[in-house]
């Protein structure tokens, strides 16, 4: 495991290749409900190194793509903020998540799943999820764009090797094609090492190391090498000798879709939509909508809308010079005193103190 410490040589190479723009663009980044990740490269590798579980611990993140390598660091408490607030995300690419060391919790559509060293999962483009660390860990993320995978399949079908052509009869091919043809269906595949595969984490380490080195030190044939390594990585995970793999397809919960719509409407209106307006927009009774919000957020419709108003108030306090009374009026709070009480209950400080803290 020690070979995954970031050496000075690696740091220097990463800094040399460092690009001013990440290959992942986060859209709807201010959302506390769901964020969308767009990848503008054919494939990307990300290695995350979590040093511990205390607030002053850190997570080193290395993101690698052709001619783009970025190293940055987040505090443990910052990284886990998303987990505390349940800020899920989904993306326009397929993603493998492989645990090389330690344990992580993956929240998949609201359900927690534990993955230990040697375990992996493959997520399709519609699945909302987030990763949570609670101990030292090393995790590899492999993002693959639909175009990249389509090209791989085309190459395989036209291959001179008969075995390579069999990709079209594989579970991996069916999983990807199912998503490409029926976008919006939520599904993922879990991979757990077989009893015979006792060196599972070490094998993943070796493959990850080869992919990282190829991207950091590309030479003649690097484009072919990295594609071959990615294919080898996929083939290993889908080998019945090495891993048990289980497909899970999630039925879309109609109540959850309605909750999603309520959340998005509240985000767009800063929580200022009335019950009547929600009824008219969504064509459901406010009592029914209230039950759905209570089911997923654990609070009534009014209190849930208030969380969005307070979030917008916090944004105005930091980004505008409006008076606190003007902000309260803009967000339709009944009076300044009521606004102060609600804000302090949520953020632990008064609006004035919050603004001073963020100047």
Mean pLDDT, rounded, for 196-224: 87
DSSP code of residue 8: H
Higher pLDDT: 263 or 23? It is 263
The tens digit of pLDDT for each residue in 150-165 reads: 999 999 999 999 999 9
Q: What pLDDT is stored for residue 28 in this prediction? A: 65
In the chain the first and final C-alpha atoms are separated, in Å, by: 43
Would you say residue 27 has pLDDT above 80? Answer: no
Would you say residue 19 has pLDDT above 50? Answer: no
Q: How far is CA 120 from the centre of its chain?
A: 15
* Helix 254-269 vs helix 301-319: crossing angle, to nearest 10: 40
Mean pLDDT, rounded, for 91-104: 94
Confidence of residue 1 (pLDDT cuts 50, 70, 90): very low
Burial of 58 (0-12, 13-18, 19+ CB in 10 A): middle
Would you say residue 5 has pLDDT above 80? Answer: no
> Do 140 and 174 meet the contact criterion of CB atoms below 8 Å apart?
no
d(CA 250, CA 245): 16
- Of 13-22, 137-146, 233-242, 320-329, which range is least confident? 13-22
Output the DSSP codes for 110-145. TEEEEEETT-EEEE-TT--EEEEE-S-EEEEEEEE-
Output the DSSP codes for 175-209. HHHHHHHSTT-EEEEEEEE-TT-TTHHHHHHHHHH
- Of 14-28, 242-256, 267-281, 313-327, which range is least confident? 14-28
Q: What pLDDT is stored for residue 4 in this prediction? A: 42
Tell me how far CA of residue 163 lies from CA of 145, 155, 233, 240, 264, in angstroms: 24, 13, 17, 16, 48
Higher pLDDT: 101 or 9? It is 101
* Torsion on CA atoms 289, 308, 267, 145, rounded to nearest 10: -100
Would you say residue 3 has pLDDT above 80? Answer: no
Query: Token pair for residue 241?
Result: 């000798």
Burial track 192-224 (b if 16+ CB lie within 10 A, e otherwise): bbeeebeebbebbbebbebbbebbbeeeeeeee
Mean pLDDT, rounded, for 251-260: 72
Which residues touch 185 (CB under 8 Å, ≥6 apart)?
124, 126, 178, 179, 249, 252
d(CA 112, CA 63): 25
Tell me how far CA of residue 270 lies from CA of 20, 275, 308, 342, in angstroms: 32, 14, 5, 15
Query: Token pair for residue 223?
Result: 């484009």
Would you say residue 8 has pLDDT above 50? Answer: no
Q: Which helix (H) or strand (E) holds 122?
A: strand 120-123
d(CA 46, CA 49): 10
DSSP code of residue 253: P
Q: What pLDDT is stored for residue 79 in this prediction? A: 61
As a whole-number percent, the residues of the chain with pLDDT over 70 amount to 87
Q: Which helix (H) or strand (E) holds 301?
A: helix 301-319
> Do 192 and 119 meet the contact criterion of CB atoms below 8 Å apart?
yes
Query: Token pair for residue 114?
Result: 């534990």
Would you say residue 41 has pLDDT above 90? Answer: yes
Mean pLDDT, rounded, for 51-72: 83
Query: Token pair for residue 192?
Result: 């757990």
> Do 242 and 200 meet the contact criterion of CB atoms below 8 Å apart?
yes
- Average pLDDT over all residues of the chain: 84
Q: What pLDDT is stored for residue 21 in this prediction? A: 59
Among 283, 301, 305, 279, which Cα is nearest to 292's?
301
What the chain holds in terms of domains, given with CATH numbers, is 2-250 (2.60.120.10), 254-357 (1.10.10.60)
- Of 14-23, 177-186, 193-202, which range is least confident? 14-23
d(CA 190, CA 119): 8
């Amino acid at each position: 495991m020690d070979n995954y410490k970031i050496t000075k040589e690696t740091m220097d190479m990463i800094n040399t290749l460092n690009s001013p723009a990440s290959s992942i663009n986060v859209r709807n980044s201010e959302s506390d409900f769901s964020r969308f990740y767009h990848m503008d490269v054919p494939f990307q590798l990300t290695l995350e190194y979590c040093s511990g579980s205390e607030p002053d611990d850190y997570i080193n993140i290395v993101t690698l793509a052709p001619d783009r390598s970025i190293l940055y660091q987040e505090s443990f408490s910052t990284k886990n903020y998303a987990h505390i607030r349940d800020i899920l995300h989904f993306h326009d690419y397929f993603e493998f998540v492989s645990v090389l060391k330690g344990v992580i919790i993956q929240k998949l559509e609201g359900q927690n799943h534990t993955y230990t060293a040697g375990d992996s999962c493959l997520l399709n483009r519609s699945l909302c999820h987030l990763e949570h660390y609670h101990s030292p860990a090393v995790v590899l993320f492999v993002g693959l764009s639909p175009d990249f995978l389509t090209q791989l399949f085309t190459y395989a079908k036209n291959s001179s090797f008969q075995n390579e052509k069999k990709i079209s009869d594989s579970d991996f091919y069916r999983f990807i094609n199912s998503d490409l043809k029926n976008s919006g269906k939520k599904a993922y595949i879990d991979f757990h090492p077989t009893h015979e595969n006792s060196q599972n984490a070490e094998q993943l380490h070796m493959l990850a190391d080869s992919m990282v080195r190829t991207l950091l030190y590309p030479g003649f044939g690097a484009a072919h090498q990295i594609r071959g390594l990615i294919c080898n990585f996929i083939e290993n995970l889908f080998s019945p000798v090495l891993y048990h793999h289980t497909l899970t397809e999630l039925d879309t919960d109609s109540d959850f879709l309605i909750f999603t719509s309520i959340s998005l409407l509240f985000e767009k209106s800063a929580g200022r939509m009335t019950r009547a307006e929600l009824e008219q927009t969504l064509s459901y009774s406010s009592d029914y909508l209230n039950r759905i919000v209570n089911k997923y957020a654990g609070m009534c419709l009014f209190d849930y809308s208030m969380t969005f108003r307070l979030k917008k108030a916090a944004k105005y306090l930091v980004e505008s010079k409006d008076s606190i009374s003007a902000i309260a009026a803009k967000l339709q709070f009944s009076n300044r005193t009521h606004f102060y009480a609600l804000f302090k209950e949520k953020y632990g400080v008064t609006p004035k103190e919050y603004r001073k803290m963020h100047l």
